[in-house]
Amino acid sequence: MITIKELGFSYGSNVVLKDISLNLEEGRIYGLLGENGVGKTTLLTLLAGLKKTTSGTIDIDGRNPFDRQPSLLSNIYYLPDEVPAPRRAAIGFARDNGQYWEKFDLTKFSEIMKVLDTDENQRMDHMSYGQLKKTMISFALATNARYMFMDEPTNGLDIPSKAQFRKAVSKYTSDESTLLISTHQARDLEAIIDPIIILDRQDVLLNASIGEITEKLYFDYGTEIDPDALYSEMVPGGCIQVTPNPSGAESKVNIEALFNAVLLHKSEIKEMFNK
């Protein structure tokens, strides 16, 4: 269980995060969305214990990640957007570095590399950016870490690789693990993330499951724009719009439309979901 209370972080006088509070539950794959510069990467690095909070607290199973306790760090994995390219074969890198995570599974690493169509015997510094990214995704999932934080993992992946990524995450993530995935590519992860967190610089605008979202909001795929919609957009063949859902009618969440609706109606959405 991760509990974040009144979290603040600044670079000197530049406030990046202020008064952020939220809980992350076991066995969930959270999607972390937000505009550029709201502190998504900063939040991930704080959770991984790589930065110290300016104010507030982060509690992971009763411990502060910045204390850098090996027993906690062996259950945390942070995958940054930009990954290094060691001058060695992927399988050797995994074998030597996996020992730092108590549940690392080398066989699982090899299996995921095959799912992602990547050669475990290839030198990592000879890989394309996409191949390198898939290798590090394979390593992250093979750690079996209780908490995994991924920053833009689908950046640099082509369309088939994005489908492979979704398959790997769905198949190889433990029911006990908590994943927090930051992304600008909401459609890449639409099938696997639940709940969804939308972050603002000084607030958590939304932290809700897909079920909670569809209970309160209706996603209409029609032909006529509703003037009272929270958000509407013309698309080929009609429009997508987001409206309040007082009747509880069922619909399918469109994450991009949800994101835009939340940004346009921050106070209204917060009130709606905090009742």
Per-residue pLDDT of 75-111, as tens digits, reads 999 999 998 899 999 999 999 999 999 999 999 999 9
> How much is the average pLDDT of 195-223?
91
Query: By the 8 A CB rule, do 171 and 115 touch?
Result: yes
Q: Looking at 64-172, which runs of residues are DSSP E strands?
A: 76-79, 147-151
Q: What is the per-residue pLDDT across 111-153, written as a single tens digit (0 to 9) for each? A: 999 999 999 999 999 999 999 999 999 999 999 999 999 999 9
Residue 83 φ/ψ, nearest 5 degrees: -115, 145
Angle between helices 106-115 and 129-142 in degrees, nearest 10: 140
Region 30-52: mean pLDDT is 94
Q: What is the pLDDT of residue 275?
A: 67
**DSSP 8-state assignment for residue 63:** B
Q: Is the pLDDT of residue 201 over 80?
A: no
Pick from 11-20, 57-66, 136-145: least confident:
11-20
**Mean pLDDT computed over 178-193:** 88
> What residues are paired with 198 via a beta bridge?
33, 206
d(Cα 197, Cα 144) in Å, to the nearest integer?
Answer: 23
Over residues 226-250, the mean pLDDT reads 89
Residue in 141, 147, 210 with CA at minimum distance from that of residue 180 = 147
Q: Is the pLDDT of residue 235 over 90?
A: no
Delineate the domains of the chain, giving CATH numbers in brackets: 2-206 (3.40.50.300), 209-274 (no CATH)
pLDDT at 236: 83
Percent of all residues in the chain with a pLDDT value above 90, rounded to a whole number: 79
Beta strands 2-11 and 55-60, pairing class: antiparallel
Binning pLDDT at 50, 70 and 90, where does residue 45 land? very high
Rounded average pLDDT over 178-203? 89
- In the numeric block, which tokens belong to residue 258? 């949800």
